[in-house]
Structure 1
Amino acid sequence: MSRLILLIIICMSFSVKADKEAPSKPFIATQDTALESYYFKMIPEYSYYENGALIVEKEAWGKAYRLNYDGSNTELWSVSGWYAREVYLAGKDAQNLVRLGDWPRGHELKETDLAVAFYDSGRLIKSYSTKDLIKNKNSIDLTVSHYRWLESHEFNLSRSRFTLTTLGGTTYRFSVSTGDIVE
């Protein structure tokens, strides 16, 4: 009996960082100005497995709209081929979009792991990988199948700035309209 209790205590002392990606779901991000309201509709891909093969029936897409005073919508621009769980609209007539990357898989920083991307009217203007932004590979938090690099982020609509702070304590401030690091 005492061996069983000892085994339980030993097992409980190990820290296991389990994780599971949240399922992709449709959502809407908004931007309100003094005179206009805008929204961005994000739709994940529709896919399923058949005989062990992934079948993508419809790719992910997003569309930006202006909500008109009569209740109708005017489509402004669109994107396709990617899905993000977090986006922010900015700029005159919601022409700019900031996209945060999803959970990066694996345990190494890679050029293909998106950290943040900036768009103008649906066109990619600049993107940064986690490898671009993380200078010390020991400043990431590993889980079973992913790694975490982002401590916090803040979107300042009035200044058109997007700020990221890494787990290592590095802060980046980006211009939303150009994607450039400004501070």
Structure 2
Amino acid sequence: MEQGTLLMASGIEVHRGSRTVLKDVDFHLSEGEVVALVGPNGSGKTTLLEACAGLLPLTSGSVSWRSGAGSQRVVRDSDGRRTALPPMGLTLQSDGMCGEENVEERLATALCVAGRLTDEAKMAEMLSAWGLEHRRADRISQLSGGLRRRLAVLCGLAPAALCGDSRVALLDEPS
């Protein structure tokens, strides 16, 4: 893995049921890059993102991430090996948020899972910048679909935004 590479997928193949969705795909993400996957529905964009996040079993190939120490860490491979991902941000197509959480709790949880300490002032600043400050104590179940998605994207970006070193944020359907 090159020194500036944060994430590398090598020769990955992923099946969903009996259908091969990705076959012999290589992908890498380097420091400072912003990459958008564009394609028609059903072309494998979500599958690639979920495979890079270590969420899907691979039929072949491997996914590696740069660890905090700068060394390569295989997070998933076709032999079934899995290791923990380094701290990162993630927003999936289905946001997976619990309707009973409030807005502030959701952001705090996202930061905690990503290895970031929750700083009340920073959280308030982020919620304000994203137009969610006035809803911070509201349950997620009380938010409109648009505000709920805005919160999901913020929770995916916040860990990378608050980190001093390069971090990956994987966002599926962020708009």
Structures share a fold, TM > 0.5?
Answer: no
| Higher normalized contact order (CA 8 Å, seq sep 6+, divided by chain length) | 2
Higher strand share: 1
Instruction: Return the index of the structure with the highest Cα Rg.
Output: 1
TM-score (norm 2): 0.30
